[in-house]
Chains A and B, each alone.
Chain A
Amino acid sequence: MLEAKDLRLQLGDRRVLRGVSFNLKPGRCLALFGANGAGKTSLLSLVALQRVPTMGSLRLFGGEAAVDNLALRRRLGYLGHEPGVFLGLTGYENLLLYARLYGLGDAKERALGELRKVGLAPFRHTLVRSYSAGMRQRLGLARTLMHRPELLLLDEPHQSLDRRGQDLLDRLVTEHCRAGGAALLATHETERALGLATDIMVLSRGRVSYLAPVAETPRATFEEAMAEALGGGGLC
């Protein structure tokens, strides 16, 4: 589903990614750890087709990733640091807009269904401006999942969510992967991510310092990798 080979990204004079390689197969969920500035968000933005790598190759769904490929964009679901919803529209209007932009046939039903799924149906006619941060994040999650993407890209998805919201997020991501989808999530929520992910990648200063399945990673090994990454820092 995703093959990254020697991905490099330079922003100005800062080398943000310095040769990142990994694969992500259907049904897998890869949790991305690292200090602030280690390159997690930048890596997600490359896979989300928001940026073009300076060097290296990125293949998605068996083809070369291209920024202007509309069919590829349709197969991705991206939830960034912000929920990506319009504050001046209601929750329902936001989802309806995206359902129409994604060309979903049953747009109204889909929008309503997703709102129910994330527990926002009672607030569907409330302007998002009046939502709490957690409610906005739930709406962002609904927007991300509504078009049934094959590859989920989540950047700090647990932020702003209360425990029930975080449980809901974990359940939806697990269901997505069980149904044959894949997920790549950048996070600092170690415990949650270890319970959710099938694989772990630790980034340190733009390089992969650890990459292995969760099942094959003893706790001590993970903690050692994390300590090294956090000690090595991110921001150069």
Chain B
Amino acid sequence: MLKAAVWLFWKDLSLELRGRELLLPAAVFGLIIAMLYGFAFDGGQQALRPMFPGLLWLGIFFSSFLAVGRAFGVEAEAGQQLLMAPIDRGAIFLAKLALNILLTLILTAVLTPAFAMLLGAPLPRSTGLFIWTLVLGVVGFAAAGSAMGALTAQTRLRELLLPALLLPFTSPLLLGAVNATAALYGKSSAQLGSWLWLMAAFDGIFILVPLLLFEYLTEV
């Protein structure tokens, strides 16, 4: 399965590098959100600073949604043919997951400094733990997005169904990510461990369950 996943990831990456259909619009959208936050909330950077964790993660989630949500859609018809190939369909999920993680990591690497600058956020107390928090949030969102993307890929109301499923399902992850980030910017990080564990559990569930059930998720 891993070998097939590597070939499929190569295919997905080649398509994205040539088409730039996913990352570029998502990055532009994320930066626009950051700017709009700056305009929309009154009171300057001082007032926005406490809201930085929430605004950052909403920005990452909404802009990543554009990339992750469309990853299955850009190849709908040819992707159907892939289902005929004699490979474990979990490989298709793994490849898509790897692409979505990569795209969301790049987006996060672009958006985090942009948000920090525009909202006047200082450096977190621990850069290492902050990076861990970002990675756990990104992986969880990419995994849930890949699973829901596959589930809704062939439905008629896909554009409506995907956000309706993905955003509520990822709310525990959002809660964990925002609180973990807030702990890293606040005075006490007593709860940080619990939030990171919540995020890690979310990631584990949304990687393993779709991987095991992907054959059934893709059945017509």
Contact = CB atoms under 8 A, between A and B. Distances in A.
A92 interface: no
Contacts of B88: 70
B77 A73 contact: no
B80 A102 contact: no
Contacts, number: 67
Contacts of B125: none
A171 interface: no
Contacts of A71: 86
Nearest to B76: A82
Nearest to A78: B84
Interface in B1-52: 3-4, 7-8, 10-11, 14-15, 18-19
Contacts of A70: 86-88
A78 to B, nearest CB: 5
A127 B18 contact: yes
B19 A98 contact: no
A222 B80 CA distance: 35
B220 to A, nearest CB: 5
Nearest to B4: A101
Contact of A73 (B3, B7, B15, B85): B85
B11 to A, nearest CB: 5
Interface residues of B, number: 25
B86 A102 contact: yes
A86 B78 contact: yes
B215 interface: yes
A84 B84 CA distance: 10
A50 interface: yes
Contacts of A103: 86
B2 to A, nearest CB: 13
Given A68-B215, A82-B77, A100-B7, A88 B84 contact: no
B75 interface: yes
Given A70-B86, A71-B86, A101-B7, A87 B78 contact: yes
Interface in B78-92: 78, 80-88
Interface in A126-178: 127, 143
Nearest to A11: B220
B207 to A, nearest CB: 21
Given A86-B75, A101-B4, A50 B11 contact: no
Question: What range describes how many residues of A lie at the interface?
Answer: 20 to 34
B86 to A, nearest CB: 4
B81 A80 contact: yes
B7 A88 contact: no
Interface string B72-109: 00010110111111111000000000000000000000
A89 B86 contact: no
A98 to B, nearest CB: 7
Contacts of A76: 84
A116 interface: no
Interface string A40-81: 000001001111100000000000000110110110101010
6 contacts: A70-B86, A71-B86, A86-B75, A88-B18, A98-B85, A101-B87
Given A70-B88, A84-B77, 19 more contacts: A45-B220, A51-B220, A67-B219, A68-B215, A70-B87, A73-B85, A73-B86, A74-B86, A76-B84, A84-B81, A86-B78, A88-B18, A88-B19, A97-B8, A98-B85, A100-B7, A101-B8, A101-B82, A103-B86
Interface of B: 3-4, 7-8, 10-11, 14-15, 18-19, 75, 77-78, 80-88, 215, 219-220
